[in-house]
Amino acid sequence: MTALTLSTSSAAALRADAVVVGVTKGAKGPKVAPGAEAVDKAFDGKLAAVLETLGASGADGEVTKLPAPAGLKSAVVVAVGLGDTPEDGTGFDAEALRRAAGVAARALGGAKKAAFALPAADPADLEAVATGALLGAYAFTTYQADNGKGTLGEVAVTGAKPRDKAHKAAAARAVAVGAEVNRARDLINTPPNDLNPKAFAAAVQAAGKEHGLKVEVLDEKALAKGGYGGILGVGQGSATPPRLVRVAYTHAKATRTLAFVGKGITYDSGGISLKPPGHNETMKCDMSGAAAVFAAVVATAKLGLEVNVTGWLALAENMPGGGATRPGDVLKMYSGTTVEVLNTDAEGRLVLADALARASEEAPDAIVDVATLTGAMVLALGEGRFGIMSNDDGFRTRIHTAALAAGEDSWPMPLPKELRKTFDSPTADIANMGVRPGGGLIAGLFLKEFVGEGITWAHLDIAGPAFHEGAPFGYTPKGGTGTAVRTLLSLAHQAADGDLL
């Protein structure tokens, strides 16, 4: 992983392969952003003019490389656009800093060290720059021959205060976020022939030993004994049996407990309700919710937050083997509820239902589930944001606010009571499908059926942003994005501070 250091040196004095500076979009052309004063001085105060001559405008995501002049210890200057110049008295938007740093880090792939002279005078800006750089430097190359490029080796943020408590804490948060979002990305990008439920559970067990987490794994025998009909029903068509993993971080002084529940379908063929070509090629990403939950628990442990967090990973492979669940079958869930399966491609809600019911037994202060659950949510909100549903409007609002502050776009969605009757079943207690319109909301209503009485709960449908098929942008790579890790970690921070519930 890319290393992070805080340097008291000026951008001109720090020896590195490149120095990154910010450029804003001013009314009369590009303007050099704070943090780059020493670099601008090396250009005799004409850096903005040089950049304008080269066609730079300061637009968001723009990158301009130019040779460094005498007076700099770096060979290359990388100017990255920050967007519009902030109004007087206002600072830079944290997401603009994250994205700019991410673009620069990706542009410097293969370099050993880069000095980041972006606006980072206060801890919040420092954290944004460091987080964006560490996320932007990510690359998944496990299955590729060595192309000689690699990732950026070290991010050195200039003008920082390495001994300052607030700066050190900001850097620690950035490192934890960077490592754990990238852990989730690695898991999402791993091919399903290598990441099946058993392998995923083993990865959690290994991390548990490293970070002092308590890990429990229920295999197919334990699931059958415990009556986990949803997880078993989804996984029974695969040669690789399912798992339910409980991974817990506890703090001796914690007074609040959160439960995070993640959908972990390591490959989703749709089962007997088989997906058509064009809809199954990226279905290794259907475990993105479980990856986010796992990574968030580890990040909470790394930061030693004063909160108890339990992650539940419902892991299965949805395949159309001879033993697969059929449309029309009835499953008895862990809660005792019977569910008529009308569509085996609506499997995520079945594994989550068992995990939600089991998590409820421990009576946490709140449960948040995360899942790539419905295509309907993608149609409603697009690919760039996730939907938030909850049985508590205030809790939904707090999650929305936390997600936006963390840089994860989201939108609050309703749970209309009138849609509940659409998944009534003449055969079982309920069916796993309702009417087609409002499918994402119906999935949320289905999950709500399995949340314990009186427990605050929210559902994050991350089907849109979990896997990015387009070109990289900002700090977002092609492939798995690690969506929801930062939101969950923010909730853990708020719970530890007593501000969430």
Does 90 score more than 90 pLDDT?
no
Three-state helix/strand/coil letters over 252-279: CCCCCEEEEEEEEEEEECCCCCCCCCCC
Over residues 439-451, the pLDDT tens digits come to 999 999 999 999 9
- Residue 155 confidence (pLDDT): 98
Cα–Cα distance between 356 and 459 in angstroms, integer? 11
- Of 359, 360, 366, the C-alpha closest to 257 is 366
User: Which residue in 275, 332, 420, 478 is the catalytic one?
Assistant: 275
- Residue 147 confidence (pLDDT): 65
Residue at 471: amino acid letter:
A
Over residues 399-443, the pLDDT tens digits come to 999 999 999 999 999 999 999 999 999 999 999 999 999 999 999
Q: Measure the CA angle with vertex 441, ends 435 and 445; round to 5°.
A: 90
Residue with tokens 């442990």: 301
416-420 contacts, C-beta under 8 A, 24 or more apart: 416/441, 416/445, 419/445, 420/445
Q: Supply the DSSP symbol for 95.
A: H
Q: Which residues of 170-199 are buried (b: 16+ CB within 10 A; e: fewer)?
A: bbbbbbbbbbbbbbbbbbbbbebeebbbbb
Tell me what the mean pLDDT of segment 329-356 comes to: 98
Does 315 score more than 90 pLDDT?
yes
Active-site residue 349, yes or no?
A: yes
Residue 323: both structure tokens together: 């033993």
Mind giving me the DSSP string for 145-182? Answer: ---S-----EEEETT--TT-HHHHHHHHHHHHHHHHHH
| Confidence at 88, pLDDT banded by 50, 70, 90 | confident
User: Which residue in 99, 243, 349, 358 is the catalytic one?
Assistant: 349
- Residue 1 confidence (pLDDT): 85
CB-side neighbour CA atoms (13 Å) of 173:
22
Cα–Cα distance between 82 and 96 in angstroms, integer? 6
Over residues 269-290, the pLDDT tens digits come to 999 999 999 889 999 999 999 9
Q: Which residues contact 277 (CB under 8 A, 6 or more apart)?
A: none
Does 50 score more than 90 pLDDT?
yes
Tell me what the mean pLDDT of segment 355-383 comes to: 98
Q: What's the mean per-residue pLDDT of the chain? A: 97
| Confidence at 51, pLDDT banded by 50, 70, 90 | very high
Tell me what the mean pLDDT of segment 23-35 comes to: 94
308, 251 contact by CB (below 8 A): yes
Over residues 162-199, the pLDDT tens digits come to 999 999 999 999 999 999 999 999 999 999 999 999 99
Which of 142-146, 336-340, 361-365 bottoms out in mean pLDDT, i.e. has the lowest?
142-146
115, 20 contact by CB (below 8 A): yes
- Residue 306 confidence (pLDDT): 98
Q: Is 172 left (phi over 0), alpha (psi -120 to 50) or beta?
A: alpha
Mind giving me the DSSP string for 469-486? Answer: -S--BTTBPSEE--TTHH
- Residue 266 confidence (pLDDT): 98
Does 225 score more than 80 pLDDT?
yes
CB-side neighbour CA atoms (13 Å) of 262:
37
Active-site residue 275, yes or no?
A: yes
Cα–Cα distance between 11 and 134 in angstroms, integer? 19
Over residues 247-274, the pLDDT tens digits come to 999 999 999 999 999 999 999 999 999 9
CB-side neighbour CA atoms (13 Å) of 185:
28
Cα–Cα distance between 95 and 276 in angstroms, integer? 37
Q: Supply the DSSP symbol for 314.
A: E
- Residue 321 confidence (pLDDT): 97
Q: Supply the DSSP symbol for 383.
A: S
- Residue 29 confidence (pLDDT): 93
152, 196 contact by CB (below 8 A): no
Does 149 score more than 80 pLDDT?
no
Does 484 score more than 70 pLDDT?
yes
Residue 268: both structure tokens together: 């989703």
| Confidence at 89, pLDDT banded by 50, 70, 90 | low
What predicted TM-score, i.e. pTM, was given to this entire model? 0.97
- Of 80, 74, 12, the C-alpha closest to 41 is 12
